[in-house]
A and B are shown apart, each in its own frame.
Chain A
Amino acid sequence: GNSVTQMEGPVTLSEEAFLTINCTYTATGYPSLFWYVQYPGEGLQLLLKATKADDKGSNKGFEATYRKETTSFHLEKGSVQVSDSAVYFCALSDGAPSGSARQLTFGSGTQLTVLP
């Protein structure tokens, strides 16, 4: 079956530090990959996505590249801000029969805290 493995948290960084959150996956076929962010007390927001190998998703300074050879989709940001403090979920979508709604397989989530 499908699975997503994220680096264990929590991650604590100082403002303007470089961020990497590792995500690797196991899936059959050609999944799409997503990063969702959940701010305290809120629902999940789509941060970025990539739908095929070598695609790079980007949004709000965050980037992730779909690497099929290493089955990875690591999240990076060059300079984090206090407002980036949140939980980040890596997810993949695949496996449903044609014509069906897709299910997301989530990683365990990584708590990021950015200190001023």
Chain B
Amino acid sequence: DTEVTQTPKHLVMGMTNKKSLKCEQHMGHRAMYWYKQKAKKPPELMFVYSYEKLSINESVPSRFSPECPNSSLLNLHLHALQPEDSALYLCASSPRPGAGPQETQYFGPGTRLLVL
């Protein structure tokens, strides 16, 4: 089973709201990723967690705050977002950080976020 689940599927929020996106995998993967994808573009990496520790932050604005409470769960906390943050947010996981370039990332279905 190579399933990554994400909730909610859709989210509409105002610029003053606080919301969270959730990602889960039960494959025993030890790396988890957040990507942002705008329409007709490839995904852009935001954050990477390896063994529950933040290993990569691609200069993402502080209004996005990631959290990895355990090896199966990844959250993205959203606060004071801007309309240009509207996008599809994808979560991914991979089995073993450091296993080499053959390491495969498995993506979830995404959360489609609209900021009004």
List residues of A whose CB falls within 8 A of some B CB.
29-32, 34, 36, 42-46, 49, 51, 87, 89, 92-94, 98-104, 106-109, 111
Find chain A residues with CB under 8 A from B94 CB: 101-102
Q: Are B90 and A43 in contact (CB under 8 A)?
A: yes
Which of A31, A45, A46 is within 8 Å of B101, CB to CB?
A: A31
List residues of B whose CB falls within 8 A of some A CB.
2, 4, 6, 31, 33, 40-43, 45, 48-50, 55-56, 88, 90, 92, 94, 97-98, 100-110
Find chain B residues with CB under 8 A from A104 CB: 43, 45, 105
Distance in angstroms from B91 CB to nearest chain A CB is: 8
Residue of B nearest to A9 (CB): B40
Which of A44, A51, A93 is within 8 Å of B43, CB to CB?
A: A44
Which of B50, B88, B106 is within 8 Å of A100, CB to CB?
A: B50
CA distance A75 to B16 in the complex (A): 45
A99 with B56, Cβ < 8 A, contacts A45-B107, A109-B42 known: no
Q: Are B104 and A101 in contact (CB under 8 A)?
A: no
Find chain A residues with CB under 8 A from B2 CB: 46
CA distance A51 to B101 in the complex (A): 8
Find chain B residues with CB under 8 A from A99 CB: 97-98
CA distance A49 to B6 in the complex (A): 24
Q: Are A101 and B97 in contact (CB under 8 A)?
A: yes
Find chain A residues with CB under 8 A from B42 CB: 89, 106-109
Which of B103, B106, B108 gathers most chain A CB within 10 Å? B103
CA distance A64 to B100 in the complex (A): 21
The 10 closest A-B pairs by CB, nearest first: A106-B42, A99-B98, A101-B31, A101-B97, A51-B102, A32-B101, A44-B107, A43-B109, A43-B107, A93-B101
CA distance A42 to B6 in the complex (A): 11
CA distance A51 to B104 in the complex (A): 10
Q: Are A98 and B40 in contact (CB under 8 A)?
A: no
CA distance A45 to B106 in the complex (A): 7
Find chain A residues with CB under 8 A from B56 CB: 101, 103
CA distance A33 to B100 in the complex (A): 12
